[in-house]
Chains A and B, each alone.
Chain A
Amino acid sequence: MNKYSIIMERVVKRFEDVAAVDGVSFKVANGELFGLLGPNGAGKTTTVNILCGLLKPTSGSAFVGGYDVQKESAKVKELIGVCPQETAIYPYLTGAENVELFGNLYALDKNTLKARRDMLLVKMGLTQDAKRRVEKYSGGMKRRLSLILALIHDPQIIFLDEPTVGMDPQSRRAVWDFMGELKKEGKTIFLTTHYMEEAEALCDRVGIIDHGRLIALDSPKELISKNEVENLEEVFIKFTGRNIREEL
């Protein structure tokens, strides 16, 4: 396998006259937890969608797991797990049924599926509610279940698009801990967030994206020290002249 799990090279994505992603290039090493930071509308989700093969870039190229996301999307889909920004879960199914559905979509055998389902439900604290229909879940429970759906097939490369949005502090902490465990297992994690403290606490490296352009890329520690500021929030202000929260 390549040294890098994710490679983006001068990727541009235009929607009519608007460049949602404008010449973005970066590499994410195997086993790295990489954070893409930026306000809403900065181009984070568009970047994730390009890397998952959902969107075709206007120009440039992207590789995931060594495969071209456009030409070899079937291979890419086998490798990745994606937790999208919206809580996309079937409300009329129970939590366990949603997990089993996605396990079957990844063609897991019955025993593996059962073992992975039970383990992930325990980790996300949803075992007690697994047999309840999702329409009765709280927002935080839905987010945690959505994360399980992304991980049921034990993917090597994980895309988490704003995974903790709308979560209570307890749920957020549980997800952070879980991301730490995944990293220890050697998984590559691509995290998008607009929570600076989340990126600062979890990520090996972060890229700051604004108006579709990657304006900074380094480890949180280096970004903070090079820019002589206290935290990533201030790094963002230094680069853009705005507070990220003003954009929310």
Chain B
Amino acid sequence: MKFQRVAALTNKEVKKTVREPAVLFMIFLFPVVFVLAFGASFGGLGAAQPVYTLGVVNTDQANIANSTQAFMGALSDTKILSFQIYVDNQTAQKDLSQGKIQAVMIIPSVFSQSLVSYRAAPEDPSKWINVTVSLYLDKGSVVATQAIPPIIQQVITAFTDKNQQSASTPISLQIASLIETKKVSVFEFMAPGMFTFASIFLIMMVAQSFTQDRENGMLKRIRITPTTPTEFMTSQVLSYMLIALIQAIIVFAAVYLMGFKPNVEFSAYALAFTLVLIFSLSNVGYGLITATIAKTSGAATGLSFLFVLPQLFLGTFVGASLSSYAQIVSKFVPSYYVTDALTSLFLRGAAVTSPTILLDLAIVSISCVAILAVGIILYAKYYKI
């Protein structure tokens, strides 16, 4: 393989992206404009109401009259929460940081004593034992952050004061994560998905590029030169990886300007950009599959949405509002794992070596390389490279 040929073709492809207004818009400007506009205006949550998993660390040793079980039963009756019991907060926090659970609730050591004190003298706060139930939320889930606290607060109130006559109770809810860090905006929840979002449009660009070059005889002309199929495909993959990297930098700059400033180490950024680069392989693959099916560049534009839309709706920030069924389907698109990993890195503060991140990285790598391979094989089968 001659690097001179690969470099020349890569250079050509990058020049095309920069010089053709339509390509430039679709690859760089459209994602940024869309991200800024959508991010600025997106204020609501989806209607979907899945069950959230609440990690529970019960430090109430006394547990008078099975109070904690009764409290958890009351929470369970809401049909919105399920439980995962932890023996210590550290283990629970680890799972929270990897997105395995949506919140951690710490039941204080004198929880049941507090209930007993309240029920013995409901109208005399001086005799109450005041306690605080601490709640840590998944900062990577806008739905969890906004949905779980009111549910728990409501249940605490109803459970403590069954007649709901008192203005206050000795049990208060403290949302630990939101107290410890600044409030996370809806836009920030979406930011990780926006990195994934931008790269998805490469599918359309690859499909158009290959069909156009086929239509105007350029691919045939390159085949007449000593350029090998391996050199040609390597140049294409490198070009689009480079474009994806530039995209990611531009999108990062845009979301940074919009206020998304994750407090993470350099290794998290390095892994995030690596994930986007690996993800671009699948988009080249989908682009090649589209170019195989499409006879013309016009058809390629339309057909590319067969791959763009599922990746977009199932695997980016749009996914925060998906129904439970759609969330199951989303497990079959690579973009879901990229967004999940980026969310864990940037919002949940997961370590780059945490099992969830490594699993996401493995799934993204394997699936993207496989999709690229399928794309190359299919294209080469029907149109010589």
Residues of A with Cβ closer than 8 Å to B?
Answer: 52-54, 74, 77-78, 80, 82, 84, 86, 88-90, 92-93, 97, 100-102, 104-107, 133, 149
A101: B residues at CB distance < 8 A: 8-9, 11-12
Contacting B217 at CB < 8 Å: which of A53, A88, A92, A104?
Answer: A88
Is A104 in contact with B7, judged by CB distance below 8 angstroms? yes
Q: Which one of B151-159, B223-231, B271-279 contacts A?
A: B223-231
Contacting A93 at CB < 8 Å: which of B7, B12, B225?
Answer: B12
Is A88 in contact with B220, judged by CB distance below 8 angstroms? yes
Whether A92 touches B19, Cβ cut-off 8 Å, given contacts A77-B225, A80-B224, A84-B220, is yes
Task: Supply 16 further A-B pairs (C-beta < 8 A) apart from A74-B228, A82-B221, A86-B217.
Answer: A53-B224, A54-B220, A54-B223, A82-B224, A84-B220, A86-B216, A92-B15, A101-B8, A101-B9, A104-B5, A104-B7, A105-B9, A105-B227, A107-B5, A107-B226, A149-B221
Q: Give bound CA distance, A12 to B15, whole Å.
A: 41
* Shortest Cβ distance from residue A85 to the other chain B in the assembled complex, whole angstroms: 8
Is B218 in contact with A88, judged by CB distance below 8 angstroms? yes
Is A107 in contact with B2, judged by CB distance below 8 angstroms? yes
Is B8 in contact with A88, judged by CB distance below 8 angstroms? no
Q: Give bound CA distance, A80 to B216, whole Å.
A: 21
Is B225 in contact with A84, judged by CB distance below 8 angstroms? no
Is B8 in contact with A104, judged by CB distance below 8 angstroms? yes
Is A88 in contact with B5, judged by CB distance below 8 angstroms? no
Is A88 in contact with B19, judged by CB distance below 8 angstroms? no
User: Whose C-beta in chain A lies nearest to the C-beta of B219?
Assistant: A88
A77: B residues at CB distance < 8 A: 224-226
State whether the Cβ of B353 lies closer than 8 Å to any Cβ in chain A. no
* Shortest Cβ distance from residue B15 to the other chain A in the assembled complex, whole angstroms: 6
State whether the Cβ of B222 lies closer than 8 Å to any Cβ in chain A. yes
State whether the Cβ of B66 lies closer than 8 Å to any Cβ in chain A. no
Is B221 in contact with A92, judged by CB distance below 8 angstroms? no
B120-134 contacts to A, CB under 8 A, are none
Contacting B221 at CB < 8 Å: which of A80, A84, A100, A133?
Answer: A84
A78: B residues at CB distance < 8 A: 226
A53: B residues at CB distance < 8 A: 224
Is A88 in contact with B216, judged by CB distance below 8 angstroms? yes
Whether A107 touches B220, Cβ cut-off 8 Å, given contacts A92-B20, A102-B225, is no
Is A92 in contact with B16, judged by CB distance below 8 angstroms? yes
Q: Give bound CA distance, A30 to B16, whole Å.
A: 40
B227: A residues at CB distance < 8 A: 105
Contacting A105 at CB < 8 Å: which of B15, B19, B222?
Answer: B222
B20: A residues at CB distance < 8 A: 92
* Shortest Cβ distance from residue B194 to the other chain A in the assembled complex, whole angstroms: 28
**Which of B2, B7, B226 has the most chain A CB within a 10 Å cutoff?**
B226
Q: How large is the interface on B (under 10, 10 to 19, 20 to 34, 35 or more residues)?
A: 20 to 34
Whether A105 touches B220, Cβ cut-off 8 Å, given contacts A90-B12, A92-B15, A92-B20, is no
State whether the Cβ of B263 lies closer than 8 Å to any Cβ in chain A. no
* Shortest Cβ distance from residue A149 to the other chain B in the assembled complex, whole angstroms: 8
Over the window 127-149 of chain B, the binary record of Cβ atoms lying under 8 Å from chain A Cβ atoms (1 yes, 0 no) is 00000000000000000000000
State whether the Cβ of B4 lies closer than 8 Å to any Cβ in chain A. yes
User: Whose C-beta in chain A lies nearest to the C-beta of B17?
Assistant: A92
Q: Give bound CA distance, A90 to B16, whole Å.
A: 9
Q: Give bound CA distance, A53 to B225, whole Å.
A: 11
Is A84 in contact with B16, judged by CB distance below 8 angstroms? no
* Shortest Cβ distance from residue B230 to the other chain A in the assembled complex, whole angstroms: 12
Is B15 in contact with A97, judged by CB distance below 8 angstroms? yes
Q: Give bound CA distance, A88 to B11, whole Å.
A: 18
Q: Give bound CA distance, A80 to B223, whole Å.
A: 12
A97: B residues at CB distance < 8 A: 12, 15
Over the window 222-256 of chain B, the binary record of Cβ atoms lying under 8 Å from chain A Cβ atoms (1 yes, 0 no) is 11111110000000000000000000000000000
Contacting B4 at CB < 8 Å: which of A52, A74, A104?
Answer: A104
Q: Give bound CA distance, A107 to B9, whole Å.
A: 12
Is B216 in contact with A105, judged by CB distance below 8 angstroms? no
> Can you report 16 residue pairs joining A to B where beta carbons are below 8 Å apart?
A54-B220, A54-B223, A54-B224, A82-B224, A88-B218, A89-B218, A92-B15, A93-B12, A101-B8, A101-B12, A102-B225, A104-B4, A104-B5, A105-B5, A105-B9, A105-B226
Contacting B8 at CB < 8 Å: which of A52, A74, A105?
Answer: A105
* Shortest Cβ distance from residue B258 to the other chain A in the assembled complex, whole angstroms: 32
Is A106 in contact with B226, judged by CB distance below 8 angstroms? yes
Q: Give bound CA distance, A133 to B21, whole Å.
A: 14
Q: Give bound CA distance, A16 to B160, whole Å.
A: 84
A93: B residues at CB distance < 8 A: 12, 15
B16: A residues at CB distance < 8 A: 90, 92
User: Whose C-beta in chain A lies nearest to the C-beta of B2?
Assistant: A107
Is A84 in contact with B12, judged by CB distance below 8 angstroms? no
A92: B residues at CB distance < 8 A: 15-16, 19-20
Q: Give bound CA distance, A100 to B384, whole Å.
A: 24
* Shortest Cβ distance from residue A140 to the other chain B in the assembled complex, whole angstroms: 18
Whether A84 touches B226, Cβ cut-off 8 Å, given contacts A92-B15, A101-B12, is no
Q: Give bound CA distance, A52 to B223, whole Å.
A: 9
Which 4 pairs from chain A and chain B are nearest by CB? A104-B8, A88-B217, A86-B217, A105-B225
